Amino acid sequence: MTMSTAIYFSPEGGRLLGKNQDVPYQGAYLFTNKRGVAKSALVQPPELPAKWISRYGSLTVSQVGKEMPNGGINETGLVVEQTTLWQSAYTDNDRLPAIGELQWIQLILDTCATVKEAEQVACGVRIAQPMSRLHYMVGDRSGDCAIFEFLGGVMCVFRGNSLPVSIMANTPYSQAIKDLEDKEERWRNVYNDYDGNSMDRFVKGVARLAAVIPDSERERLQFARETLQFVRREDTAYSLIYDLEQKQLHFATSIYPDLKTVRMSEVDFSSDAVPLALNLQQPAVSYMNYNADLNRRVAESFFREPVLTKAFGWSITDDMIDFIASFPDRFPKAADV
């Protein structure tokens, strides 16, 4: 079963967002995403797909393929991450244009610079035909952070006073806060292994957020990494630390645990740039040119993984994988539309 933990650290002078991807599958790639591209959502008829133009370039990490990120950071320092939330139930208001649950992340990164803007954009679309059930954490450089959940067909946004701790695991946020406030921790006696593990990681993360976060950049990064190690699971495939101030991404995997860094300043996000990809499972940072054949290998490896197929109940045909692999190449430059 997929799990994961996301934590936003916002001390003065430094904003970091950490993420453990807990999933029994090791494949993961980083993709560059250009500004000035006209995009549309990958949804099946009769849904009306959301359409937008990317205002900002971004770096995204995905186990599924390009334009279907598990998380990422854009040129403004906005970060979007997700963890599994099986209770998610999305609105059926068909007056809103539709988008998939992973492309929702790309939409926010492409069009938003702040958490406030993300909330406005999220109100204008609905998630449809999901392959997984998620909730989202969005953080920006100002220190603002929000958790977006979809429960009973309603979007709930926890932000400001309704977000006392900026952490999410795999428990609905309001329930996690309620359990956190139970000093007797009665949830430990009633939750199954999955729900109990989620709350255990939530409690551990809250304890770390309550500690004094170091002042220096190097020590803050080390503190964030130690926090992710504190809440990791045996199946943690990779860990990410987004630096919103410096606009860079640090990553480590279970196979290659040394921390590596990619910097947005080193990437060309212009509409004429060659898109790049980077395999997280390698000993050093080494970009390659992106192409549809690579994307097909990424998608096929993920959707043919037997444990994930059983957990999510997928029935993905070869034609569907081909379409997922090739659809990013169909997006034109905005000037060509």
Query: Against a cut of 0.75, is the pTM above it?
Result: yes
Residues 320, 299 contacting (CB under 8 angstroms):
no
What's the distance, Cα to Cα, between the start and end of the chain in Å? 42
pLDDT of residue 336: 66
Q: What's the CATH code of the domain at 168? A: 3.60.60.10
Grouped pLDDT means (10 residues each) for the chain, 337 residues = 92 89 97 98 96 99 98 99 98 94 99 99 97 97 98 98 98 99 97 98 97 91 98 98 98 98 98 98 98 97 89 86 94 80
pLDDT of residue 310: 85
Residue 51 CB partners (closer than 8 Å, separation 6+): 38, 39, 40, 41, 97
DSSP symbols for 67-124: TS-SEEEETTS-EEEEEE-TT------TTSPEE-TTHHHHHHHHH-SSHHHHHHHHTT
Residue 107 CA to residue 38 CA, distance in Å, equals 11
Residues 302, 25 contacting (CB under 8 angstroms):
yes
Residue 165 CA to residue 154 CA, distance in Å, equals 22
pLDDT of residue 1: 67
Residues 139, 8 contacting (CB under 8 angstroms):
yes
Residues 303, 316 contacting (CB under 8 angstroms):
yes
pLDDT of residue 311: 82
**H or E, element range at 229:** helix 217-230
Structural domains of the chain, count: 1
Residue 163 CA to residue 169 CA, distance in Å, equals 14
C-alpha to C-alpha distances, 246 to 16, 84, 310, nearest whole angstrom: 10, 28, 40
Residue 290 CA to residue 276 CA, distance in Å, equals 5
pLDDT of residue 30: 99
Structural domain boundaries, residue 332: 5-336
